[in-house]
Amino acid sequence: MVLEIKIYGEEALRVKTEEVKEINPEIITILNDMVETMQEANGVGLAAPQVGINKRMFVLDIGDGIIRKVINPRIEYSEETIECEEGCLSIPGIYKTVKRAKTVKVEYTNEKNEKIVEEVSELLSRAFQHENDHLDGILFTDKVSPVAKRLIRKKLQAMAKRIKE
Ligand code: CO
């Protein structure tokens, strides 16, 4: 089932999410729905708060042939950083440069309840960091430069206003 994606200004995007305690059929269904929703929107990632689910999980499909279903992730960030343009399904039409760790070591549980440890770089590293931020109510627009923030402020305000109407 394709779920409704929450848009900038909606409260669901700013909540602190809770650990997944048990991988039960309900969780599996939500993860499958999130994959369907991400694919329909042509996204590379989608986090649970983006569809109004208050849980620490996200899905990723960066086009490497693997659809990752990530539950309760932990991330270790490299000191070395890199700048790259980002967008977000919850912030349509806005693309800005964000500075992030170059590589990350991720530990998470997948939908089969297996512990996965990966060291990732490039697009996958960026996608993990972006989606993991969603789990703490952080959006990429919070992390852009002060100049970029000023440039997108009006667009974001308009987006949030539309949500409240
Ligand atoms: Co996003």
Q: In this structure, what CATH number is given to the domain that contains residue 113?
A: 3.90.45.10
Q: CA 154, CA 38: separation in Å to the nearest integer?
A: 27
Q: What is the pTM of this model?
A: 0.96
Check 36, 86, 131, 165 and give the catalytic one.
131
Backbone angles phi, psi at 90, to 5 degrees: -90, -5
Pairing of strands 68-77, 57-60: antiparallel
Query: Does residue 6 lie in a domain region?
Result: no
Tally of domains in the chain: 1
Domain interval for residue 72: 11-164
Taking a 5 Å cut-off on Cβ, the residues next to ion ligand 1 are 88
* pLDDT tens digits, 53-103: 999 999 999 999 999 999 999 999 999 999 999 999 999 999 999 999 999
Q: Listing from the earlier edge strand, what are the strands of the sheet with 103-109? A: 45-47, 57-60, 68-77, 103-109, 115-121
Query: Does residue 1 lie in a domain region?
Result: no
How much of the chain, in percent, has pLDDT values that exceed 70?
Answer: 99
Q: What is the mean pLDDT of residues 14-27?
A: 96
Query: Does residue 3 lie in a domain region?
Result: no
Q: How far is the CA of 96 from the centre of ligand 1 (A)?
A: 12
Query: Does residue 62 lie in a domain region?
Result: yes
Query: Does residue 2 lie in a domain region?
Result: no
Query: Does residue 72 lie in a domain region?
Result: yes
Contact 158, 91 (CB under 8 A): no
pLDDT of residue 163: 77
Query: Does residue 5 lie in a domain region?
Result: no
Q: Residue 165: is its pLDDT beyond 80?
A: no
Q: CA 144, CA 137: separation in Å to the nearest integer?
A: 15
Model confidence at 113, in pLDDT bands (50, 70, 90)?
very high
| 10 belongs to the catalytic site | no
